[in-house]
């Protein structure tokens, strides 16, 4: 019974981490009752479980992950979706549309469209398979997609969405943070978009440092004040910014009108998945759900999170 | 460089080697991790005049598709020497020797990697010899192993490798180019240090049973030394990547609480 590492120590592959009644978890392996690291990362002990938090790595899909992907091929009643990492995903029309749907599914979503979807199945045999029957899962209109290292996503979301919500509060932007390291951002103006990118990049660079949320918050407050200040004399930027709150108040409906498939894709399954997601992955899921849920029905969402 | 001149002796009367080393002394080694921006993982090694860069891409989608392995990732190693890496221009087309060394390196690295975590994908390892001065296959393994770790590929341990050879009847560790060319034999080997399992063992020239056993022991000792250098290089790279690490101690509690929940629970839950 012994642990051979300091908390949050940088460990290397093959390093002996613990011996005795400990359980090997992510980033470690067990050989003859001894637990070794299999990655470069930060070692952690939780209860009697040893794990290593990776500092690098590609995206490996997991069931239940929310991902942001780009449609690359429309094949029959499937869409092939690029979600980064070694595995291309497919999305079957049945998992995205309400029947009956047209034979030509490219009417609903076509090559190049960026979508938010959930990994519904992935095993060694096949997949990953995506689904879009969930709250907030939809075609992402406008905005841009930022790529960050998937290993840094938990930090960008923050504890129970603290980081991402903080950023959204400051910048008044719409975002979707995929577990696959793609972040969709739609900001009211280029300045704010740049600032959002800067914020995400900073988090990525400094993911393993302390008080990051506070520092980012300060930085954003400062920069936003600058943007507000500089944009006041100019008339062009100002109206754009003021128009944002209105737009955000009814984001889904406005988008649904733009894109024909939306009513079928989204609106239905709003009720059920909510409690389920919360129990599944407390601190990660709600963040993304909230992004979309917030404006629509803030009250209900809060109730669930408190549970 | 005057490679065509054969030195009068490989071991001087004082028992030192052509470059003044003792028989069990390695050349100065410099390892760097994260030398390439584009690659998922990378490392470089300078070992004497040998200079090699290794880059790792992946796990990523495998093309051509027919190479796919359904139960694990395919490890594709490409060892190449630059045209200017040797005194005579090396012809740029991949030679038989390069293909063989690629395979040998792949086989040396494979036992350490948990490739079964990425079925159907490929892990690409590109090794470029910038300057060759003997011991390139072993140096390449050292660098490739670090690059794989840098890319976040799960592995049992880093793989250090070293060549032990014989010149003037004496066993020598980490052969230089001249010792390799004019010596009597060469045993490149690689091990997994925690278990001392041998993942690469080749022999060129003739050794008696006793000599080979002694050579292997010398090799294992040198590999362990190299392993320490590798671990240090890797740690250094990651501590550098997070220079604010020093702050950790100041307000560890706050930070820890925060991050532990972020990174911890999510993944733990999915493990179950």
**Are A86 and B151 inside 8 Å of each other by CB?**
no
pLDDT of residue B252: 32
pLDDT of residue B246: 41
Same fold yes or no, A2-54 and A66-131: yes
**Are A87 and B247 inside 8 Å of each other by CB?**
no
pLDDT of residue B3: 53
pLDDT of residue A135: 86
Confidence band, pLDDT 50/70/90 cuts, at residue B242: low
Using a CB-CB cut-off of 8 Å, the residues of chain A touching B158 are 12-14
CATH superfamily of B29-241: GHMP Kinase, N-terminal domain (3.30.230.70)
Confidence band, pLDDT 50/70/90 cuts, at residue B272: very low
* DSSP track, B30-91: EEEE---SSSSEEEEEEETTEEEEEEEEEEEE-SSGGG--SSS-EEEEEEEE-TTSSSSPPP
CATH superfamily of A66-131: Nucleic acid-binding proteins (2.40.50.140)
Q: Which residue of A has its CA nearest to B73?
A: A86
Location of structure tokens 């199945």? A121
Location of structure tokens 């049992």? B156
| Cα–Cα distance for residue pair A9/B266, rounded to 1 Å | 20
Q: Which of B153, B154, B173 is nearest to B164 (CA)?
A: B173
CB-nearest to B118 from A16, A86, A211 is A86
Using a CB-CB cut-off of 8 Å, the residues of chain B touching A85 are 59-60
**What's the whole-number mean pLDDT along residues B151-179?**
94
What would the pLDDT profile of B92-130 be if each residue is shown by its tens digit? 999 999 999 999 999 999 999 999 999 999 999 999 999
pLDDT at B83 exceeding the cut of 80: yes
Most confidently modeled range among A96-110, A149-163, A269-283, B212-226: B212-226
pLDDT at A1 exceeding the cut of 60: yes
Using a CB-CB cut-off of 8 Å, the residues of chain A touching B157 are 13-14, 36
pLDDT at B243 exceeding the cut of 90: no
**What's the whole-number mean pLDDT along residues B21-46?**
95
Q: With b meaning 16 or more CB within 10 Å and e meaning fewer, what string describes B229-251?
A: bbbebbbebbeebbeebeebeee
pLDDT mean across residues, chain B: 87
CA dihedral B27, B30, B31, B35 (to 10 degrees): -140
Q: Which residue of A has its CA nearest to B114?
A: A38
pLDDT mean across residues, chain A: 78
B37: alpha, beta or left, given left = phi > 0 and alpha = psi -120 to 50? alpha
Q: How far is B84 from chain A (nearest CA, A)?
A: 33
Helical (H) or strand (E) element with B167: strand B161-167
pLDDT at A163 exceeding the cut of 60: yes
Polymer length of chain B: 272
What would the pLDDT profile of A225-267 be if each residue is shown by its tens digit? 888 887 655 444 444 333 333 333 333 433 433 333 444 444 3
CATH number of A2-54: 2.40.50.100
- pTM of the shown model: 0.79
What would the pLDDT profile of A20-77 be if each residue is shown by its tens digit? 889 999 999 999 889 999 999 989 898 889 999 888 888 989 899 999 999 999 998 9
**What's the whole-number mean pLDDT along residues A203-209?**
84
Q: How far is A161 from chain B (nearest CA, A)?
A: 9
Can you give the C-alpha Rg of chain A in angstroms?
21
Residue ranges covered by each domain of chain A = 2-54, 66-131
């Amino acid at each position: 019974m012994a642990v051979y590492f300091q908390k949050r120590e940088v460990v290397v592959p093959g390093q002996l981490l613990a011996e005795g009644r400990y359980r090997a978890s992510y980033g470690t392996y067990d050989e003859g009752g001894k637990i070794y690291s299999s990655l470069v990362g930060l070692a952690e002990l939780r209860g009697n479980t040893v794990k290593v938090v990776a500092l690098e790595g590609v995206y490996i899909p997991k069931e239940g992950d929310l991902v942001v992907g780009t449609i690359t091929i429309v094949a029959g009643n499937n869409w092939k979706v690029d979600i980064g990492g070694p595995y291309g995903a497919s999305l079957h029309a049945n998992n995205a549309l309400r029947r009956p749907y047209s034979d030509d599914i490219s009417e609903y979503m076509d090559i190049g469209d960026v979508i938010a979807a959930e990994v519904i199945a992935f095993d060694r045999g096949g997949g990953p398979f995506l689904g879009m029957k969930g709250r907030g899962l939809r075609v992402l209109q406008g905005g841009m997609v930022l790529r960050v290292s998937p290993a840094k996503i938990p930090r960008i979301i923050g504890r129970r969405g603290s980081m991402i919500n903080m950023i959204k509060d400051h910048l008044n932007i719409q975002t979707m943070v995929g577990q696959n390291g793609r972040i969709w951002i739609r900001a009211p103006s280029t300045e704010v978009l740049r600032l959002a990118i800067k914020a995400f990049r900073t988090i990525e660079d400094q993911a393993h440092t302390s008080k990051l949320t506070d520092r980012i918050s300060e930085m954003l407050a400062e920069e936003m004040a600058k943007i507000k200040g500089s944009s006041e004399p100019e008339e062009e930027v100002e109206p754009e910014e003021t128009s944002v709150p209105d737009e955000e108040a009814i984001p889904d409906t406005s988008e649904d009108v733009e894109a024909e498939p939306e009513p079928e894709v989204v609106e239905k399954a709003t009720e059920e998945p909510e409690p389920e997601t919360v129990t599944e992955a407390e601190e990660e899921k709600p963040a993304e759900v909230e992004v979309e849920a917030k404006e629509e029905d803030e009250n209900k969402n809060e109730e669930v999170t408190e549970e | 460089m005057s490679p065509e001149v054969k030195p009068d002796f490989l071991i001087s009367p004082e028992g030192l080697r052509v470059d003044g080393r003792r028989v069990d002394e390695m050349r100065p080694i410099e390892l760097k991790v994260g030398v390439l921006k584009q690659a998922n993982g990378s490392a470089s090694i300078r070992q004497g005049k040998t200079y090699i860069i290794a880059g790792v891409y992946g796990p990523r989608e495998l093309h051509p598709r027919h190479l796919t392995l359904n139960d694990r990732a395919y490890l594709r190693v490409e060892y190449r020497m630059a045209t200017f890496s040797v005194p005579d221009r090396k012809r740029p087309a991949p030679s038989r020797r390069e293909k063989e060394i690629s395979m040998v390196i792949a086989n040396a690295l494979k036992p350490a990697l948990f490739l079964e975590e990425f079925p159907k994908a490929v892990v690409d390892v590109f090794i470029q010899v910038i300057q060759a001065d003997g011991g390139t296959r072993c140096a390449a393994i050292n660098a490739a192993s670090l690059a794989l770790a840098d890319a976040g590929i799960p592995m049992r341990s880093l793989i250090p490798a070293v060549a032990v050879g014989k010149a003037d009847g004496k066993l020598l560790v980490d052969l230089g180019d001249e010792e390799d060319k004019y010596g009597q034999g060469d045993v490149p080997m690689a091990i997994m240090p925690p278990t001392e399992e041998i993942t690469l063992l080749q022999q060129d020239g003739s050794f008696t049973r006793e000599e080979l056993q002694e050579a292997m022991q010398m090799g294992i000792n040198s590999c362990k030394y190299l392993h320490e250098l590798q671990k240090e290089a890797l740690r250094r790279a990651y501590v550098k990547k997070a220079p604010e690490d020093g702050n950790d101690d100041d307000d560890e509690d706050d930070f820890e609480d925060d991050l532990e929940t972020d990174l911890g629970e999510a993944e733990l839950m999915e493990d179950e």
